[in-house]
Amino acid sequence: MLNAPRPLSLAARLHEDLRALIARTPPGERLPSEPQLAKTLAVSRATLREAMRTFETEGLIHRRQGVGTFVAQPPTVMTSGLEVLESIHTLAARMGMTMRLGEYEIDTRPPTPAEAARLDMGSSRNVVQVSWVMQADDRPVAYLVDTLPEDVLDPQRLQRDFTGSVLDLMVQSGQVALTTSDTTINAVAATPQIAKALGIQRRDVLLYFEALLYTREGRAVDYSYSYYLPGYFNFHVVRRVGKATP
């Protein structure tokens, strides 16, 4: 005798109903308001909001504060391995995608104690910090920050030539020979500042990269951290199988 299928949990049913609603709504159209949706789907507004976060980070909907929730065009997903460090621009160009530079800020200042501990300041008394937003499909999809000693990359050149990649400028300048990046990857909740920059809700889940970039001589010359909308990026790693323990 076949076992009867288990009934869906409330969360699973809600996700199925929302996915179906999004699928049958044309891109650019607004979904019903949260109170209407919560009533129709027989859930609380808090439960509905949590479910909507999933679809926003997948790039299927876009919530605009005070305006409503809109169905988005299916996102163009950037897929890349992590074995080689490359800029978003380089990855996008290889895939035939278009990434655009959004709002950005370049600031020269003394390093914080934490930055001075991470970076090998060399002869520099100041760091240059660049923070910027990258856009795809007419919306922000990544927020990035790079901090480096000012002797690593001429601040004037950075002001003049920056188009969305500190890494590419460092490679092109030839001032330092870059070799390795020590990177950690986590899932984090968006802070109010990051949520505003990316046009999402506070506490939405993002991919978070934190890295130190080293020269051939072992000097740490760039500390960076970056946030990515999961629905627009698919990162993977090729791994070898290790030997079994006897």
Give the pLDDT mean for 74-93.
79
DSSP state letter for 142:
E
Confidence of residue 145 (pLDDT cuts 50, 70, 90): very high
Give the pLDDT mean for 168-196.
92
How far is residue 43's CA from residue 237's CA, in Å, rounded to a whole number?
39
Report whether 141 contacts 194 (CB < 8 A): no
Report whether 234 contacts 78 (CB < 8 A): yes
**pLDDT number for residue 62:** 79
DSSP-derived secondary structure for 27-56? TTPBPPPHHHHHHHHT--HHHHHHHHHHHH
**pLDDT number for residue 222:** 97
Q: Mark out the alpha helices in the chain (DSSP H runs).
A: 10-23, 34-41, 45-57, 88-94, 113-118, 155-161, 166-173, 192-198
Q: What is the pTM for the complete model shown?
A: 0.76
Q: CA 57, 165, 177: angle at the middle one, nearest 5?
A: 130
pLDDT greater than 80 at residue 245: no
**pLDDT number for residue 3:** 54
**pLDDT number for residue 22:** 86
**pLDDT number for residue 152:** 93
**pLDDT number for residue 1:** 47
**pLDDT number for residue 220:** 97
80 to each of 83, 91, 94, 232, how far by Cα in Å? Answer: 9, 7, 10, 11
pLDDT greater than 90 at residue 77: no
**pLDDT number for residue 128:** 96
Q: CA 176, 181, 182: angle at the middle one, nearest 5?
A: 140
pLDDT greater than 70 at residue 85: yes
Quote the mean pLDDT of the chain: 86
Reported as half-sphere exposure (CB side, CA atoms, 13 A), residue 172 has a value of 13
% residues pLDDT > 90 (the chain):
40
- Dump pLDDT digits (tens) for 193-221: 999 999 887 888 899 999 999 999 999 99
Q: Which of 215, 155, 200 is nearest to 227 (CA)?
A: 200
How far is residue 232's CA from residue 79's CA, in Å, rounded to a whole number?
9
Q: Determine whether 78 is exposed, middle or buried from the number of CB atoms within 10 Å of its CB (0-12, 13-18, 19+).
A: buried
Instruction: Look at phi and psi of residue 199 and say left if phi exceeds 0, alpha if psi is from -120 to 50, else beta.
Output: left
Q: Determine whether 114 is exposed, middle or buried from the number of CB atoms within 10 Å of its CB (0-12, 13-18, 19+).
A: exposed
Find the helix packing angle between 34-41 and 10-23, rounded to 10°.
120
